[in-house]
Structure 1
Amino acid sequence: MRKICYEFFAIEQVYPDIEINVDKFSVTEIVDMFSVIEQVYKHIVLEVGTYKVKTAKHIIFEFEVGTVKNLDITNAEEEELVFDEDVEESGNRFELCLVGKFLTEKNLNVRVMKSKLADIWRPAMGISIKTLTEGLYLFQFFHKDDMQWMMNNGPWSFDNAILVTNTIPTWEDPTKVPLNEAEFWVQIYDLPTSFMTKAVGRQLGNFFGKFVSYDSTNNTSIWREYMRLRIRLDIRLPLKRRKKICRRDRTEFIVTCKYEKLGDFCFRCGVLSHTERSCKKRLNANLEEEVK
């Protein structure tokens, strides 16, 4: 009696819509009940063994019931639940939002940061800056022009720490959006005048990073000191500083790249995502010297 009650209790816990009271059923009814449960919940296999009936003052049922196989709620959990179209979220509620982080190892004063950026950007329709997790922020704009202006005029920084942002795709969790790239304006020096063209700028931009745009306003005079490009950088990779160029007559020259508003970065390995203080390359070098 106790064993069959345990088996029924397990079923009741997983499927609350089944209510079983063994005392109310005869032996035949209980056996039939197993069959019904198997039909309704097809992923449950119940094995009922032999049973004995003892007669005393009252009839007591003793069952030798096999184990309940595949009694696993994960089967039910893995079944797909498809919502009706009218209950699905329409559009992207993060359409006017950016998620971002600062490339720094310092503890920032979040309150001052919010006030400072809002004062610098001065969006016409306002802005809301919220902390998602430690070091990760949500920048909510209220007009697309305000957000676009902020994206086009970066990079932005606070306390000399570069702000890396990204848009949030539809249905994406803001905390899982990758923050590995940032856009910078760069100046290319030592280019001959004949090479000061957008076509050359595109190739150079794709060498130093990913070409985004060419500053044509920097091309208003006959002679220019440098070419100005906007490129997208992978902050996990070392910054490139120069490139050798070969003319058609096989003569060579070297151009150098200077980054605008670069902020803190590692002088040891040239990576933006950390400073020299926490550079693993420097720390490993120090360890090797100590071993020697």
Structure 2
Amino acid sequence: MEVSDLVSRAENISCEEPRLELPPNQTSSTSPDLNLIAKLITSKDTNLSYVREIILKAWKPVYPMEVKRLNKNIFMFSFQHEVDAHRAFIKQPWSCRGGHLVLKKWSPDITWQEIDFLTTTLWAQIHGLPDLWKTEDNIRKIGSHIGVVQEIDLVGEPGGAWKAFLRVRVDIPLDKPLRPGFFLPHPNKTDTWVGLKYEKLADFCYNCGVIGHEENIAKAKYSNSSIQKDSDLKQQVRGFVQEMMASPQAL
């Protein structure tokens, strides 16, 4: 074949990606409120029957629930009643064998491979905030400092004006360290430390502050850091991170 023929044929080939419009199934019985997709963030081997057993004990669904493995650490939970699915989703985070379970709602107009597991939902407790700053706008601003605000709990811990903390539910990026708190400026006074504690945390690395990182992995990454070289400082950091773990509130 002549070179000129090859060039001519190449010019006639469309560079556009092939697209084919198809009508959706209007009679589909799949409900988006009855399925949750989860990614278990862990390096440990996970047995499907073990995950099913742990989840059933934790969630206690009233109606039967089916558990399928879609990939190595990706699972689908199919419910028969919306109340069971809603309860499991709203009470997250959950953990299994120390691994963090990232729960996402699934809609039948996308595949599970398209689901974004880059964020997770946590309840953050706000400790040490003076009463004068306990406003809804301020709580929302604090939540935005952590991630994307989903819900605000102005009740927090019982105790009236003397309650220890307020709560905010946020979506946080899983590739970023959790924020331990911040300093609140006081005019003509020493700044006040406002601590943040996170409920129901799973494996949590004290070297880098990232959910799901194992200590030995983070050690390799931060092997030359001052934390690794100073054992006393390492213990201080470990205690500091443990302070970020809060007891969950009854819902």
TM-score with structure 1 length normalisation? 0.65
Q: Tell me whether 1:241 sits opposite 2:180 in the alignment.
A: yes
Alignment of 1:1-20 (within 5 A): none
1:89 to 18, 21, 25: 25
Of the structure 1 ranges 166-175 and 262-271, higher mean CA displacement relative to structure 2 is found in 166-175
2:126 to 188, 207, 224: 188
Cα deviation for residue 237 of structure 1 reads 0.6
Contact 1:132 1:175 in 2 (8 A): no
Cα deviation for residue 124 of structure 1 reads 2.1
Q: Tell me whether 1:138 sits opposite 2:76 in the alignment.
A: yes
Higher radius of gyration, 1 or 2: 1
Please list the CA deviations of residues 237-283 of structure 1 after superposition, one character each: whole Å capped at 9, or x if unmatched: 11110112224x46432211111111112211111132222125235
User: Which residue of structure 2 aligns with residue 231 of structure 1?
Assistant: 170
SS at match of 1:112: helix
Please list the CA deviations of residues 37-80 of structure 1 after superposition, one character each: whole Å capped at 9, or x if unmatched: xxxxxxxxxxxxxxxxxxxxxxxxxxxxx99x859xx87xx765
User: Which residue of structure 2 aligns with residue 256 of structure 1?
Assistant: 195
Cα deviation for residue 109 of structure 1 reads 2.9
Contact 1:92 1:169 in 2 (8 A): no
Q: Which amino acid in structure 1 is aligned with residue 25 of structure 2?
A: E
CA distance in 2, matches of 1:144, 1:198: 30
Larger RCO, structures 1/2 (Cα 8 Å, 6+ apart): 2
Contact 2:100 2:212 in 1 (8 A): no
Alignment of 1:157-196 (within 5 A): 157-196=95-134
Q: Which amino acid in structure 2 is aligned with residue 143 of structure 1?
A: H
Consecutive unaligned residues of structure 2, counting only runs of 5 or more, are 230-251
1:281 to 216, 221, 242: 221
Contact 2:99 2:212 in 1 (8 A): no
Contact 1:92 1:171 in 2 (8 A): no
Q: Tell me whether 1:122 sits opposite 2:60 in the alignment.
A: yes
User: Which residue of structure 1 aligns with residue 135 of structure 2?
Assistant: 197
Contact 2:66 2:78 in 1 (8 A): yes
Alignment of 1:28-107 (within 5 A): 70=9, 81-83=20-22, 85=23, 88-90=24-26, 93=30, 95=32, 96-107=34-45
Consecutive unaligned residues of structure 1, counting only runs of 5 or more, are 1-65
Contact 2:94 2:101 in 1 (8 A): yes
User: Which residue of structure 2 aligns with residue 148 of structure 1?
Assistant: 86
Please list the CA deviations of residues 203-236 of structure 1 after superposition, one character each: whole Å capped at 9, or x if unmatched: 1111022222122332651211112221211111
Number of equivalences: 220
CA distance in 1, matches of 2:121, 2:71: 24
Could you say what the CA RMSD is over the residues aligned between the two structures, in angstroms?
3.2
CA distance in 2, matches of 1:79, 1:113: 40
CA distance in 2, matches of 1:155, 1:112: 18
